[in-house]
């Protein structure tokens, strides 16, 4: 009897141990599964990317490390384009040139002939402070000897269009300078008195021009000037269209003879050139 009780007790202890071991094994498996899932989750996270602003910051850094001259050009181009007076902070924000941090850029811009600095703001300074076509024409009329177009190009944004408009209206001439090949603006104003030396007049009158326009155009090109006409092209087009390039001979004006029936006999002075029959 005592042996049977001991066996029962031993069996219960065995079952208890088995339950404990199963519980331990289950807990361990769950822990491993959780760790594995956590590891997989970490692998699925995308790699950390740099800020989307990195490229812009690199660009700004390259500008600020560029030579002083390059930074000055960026500022001058900005002032020319905007035509506004800007503070150093506004310039830094617009073109990334930090003049407060770079004293060389600041001092050189302050002394630059193309830049005006009033103590607070920088602005573009053209050679002639013009605002519109009226002021442009008034300025050109002050220079009967001619005004270089290159000095007018940056006066205001539409100055080149206004020059062409003044030329089309016959108010100015735009001619090329023989030495520099640059355009010169001359006033076309009857009130402007232009004095020409007698020697120059005599030289002009003594020059014998070729009879053919093609030869004249060739001489102009040979001396670095662009002809206003293209006779060869015009003649070629006329031949293609079957039009003669030679001027038609003028018909001889018929004269009145004695056989002509006369009218207005009360005006005898009209018939003084009557040919004899």
Q: Which fold has domain 133-187?
A: Arc Repressor Mutant, subunit A (1.10.10)
Q: What is the pLDDT of residue 182?
A: 81
In whole angstroms, give the CA distance from residue 25 to residue 17. 12
> Does this chain's domain 55-124 share its CATH topology with 133-187?
yes
As given in the structure block, the two tokens for residue 105 are 């850029």
* Tens of each residue's pLDDT in the chain, 277 residues: 565 666 677 667 767 766 766 776 676 666 666 555 555 544 454 554 555 578 888 889 999 999 999 999 999 999 999 999 999 999 999 999 999 999 999 999 999 999 999 999 999 999 998 999 999 999 999 998 899 999 999 999 999 999 999 999 999 999 876 666 688 999 997 776 667 788 888 888 888 888 888 888 888 888 877 788 888 888 888 888 765 555 556 665 555 555 555 555 555 555 555 544 4
Look up residue 101 and give its DSSP letter.
T
Question: What pLDDT score was predicted for residue 65?
Answer: 92
DSSP tag of 257: B
CB atoms within 10 A of CB 163: 22
Hey, what CATH topology would domain 55-124 get? Answer: Arc Repressor Mutant, subunit A (1.10.10)
- pTM for the predicted model, two decimal places: 0.50
Domain chopping of the chain, boundaries:
55-124, 133-187, 198-238
At residue 17, the pLDDT reads 63
pLDDT at residue number 162: 95
CB neighbour class for 105 (10 Å; exposed up to 12, middle 13-18, buried from 19)? buried
- The pLDDT value given to residue 190: 74
């Amino acid at each position: 009897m005592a042996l049977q009780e001991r066996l029962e007790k031993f069996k219960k202890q065995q079952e208890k141990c088995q339950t404990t071991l199963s519980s331990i094994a289950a807990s361990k498996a769950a822990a491993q599964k959780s760790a594995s899932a956590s590891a997989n989750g970490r692998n699925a996270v995308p790699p950390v990317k740099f800020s989307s602003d990195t490229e812009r910051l690199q660009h700004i850094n390259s500008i600020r490390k560029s030579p002083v001259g390059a930074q000055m050009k960026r500022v001058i181009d900005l002032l020319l384009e905007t035509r506004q007076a800007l503070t150093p902070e506004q310039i830094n924000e617009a073109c990334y040139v930090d003049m407060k941090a770079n004293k060389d850029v600041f001092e050189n811009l302050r002394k630059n002939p193309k830049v005006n600095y009033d103590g607070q703001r920088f602005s573009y300074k053209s050679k002639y402070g013009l605002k519109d076509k009226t002021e442009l024409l008034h300025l050109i009329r002050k220079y009967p000897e001619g005004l270089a177009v290159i000095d007018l190009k940056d006066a205001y944004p539409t100055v080149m269009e206004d020059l062409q408009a003044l030329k089309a209206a016959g108010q100015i001439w735009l001619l090329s300078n023989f030495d520099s090949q640059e355009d010169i603006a001359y006033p076309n104003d009857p009130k402007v008195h232009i004095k020409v030396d007698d020697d120059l007049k005599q030289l002009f009158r003594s020059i014998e021009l070729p009879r053919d326009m093609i030869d004249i155009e060739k001489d102009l090109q040979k001396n670095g000037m662009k002809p206003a006409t293209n006779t060869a092209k015009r003649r070629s087009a006329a031949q293609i269209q079957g039009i003669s390039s030679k001027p038609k001979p003028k018909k001889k004006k018929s004269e009145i003879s004695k056989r002509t029936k006369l009218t207005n006999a009360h005006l005898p002075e009209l018939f003084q050139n009557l040919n004899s029959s």
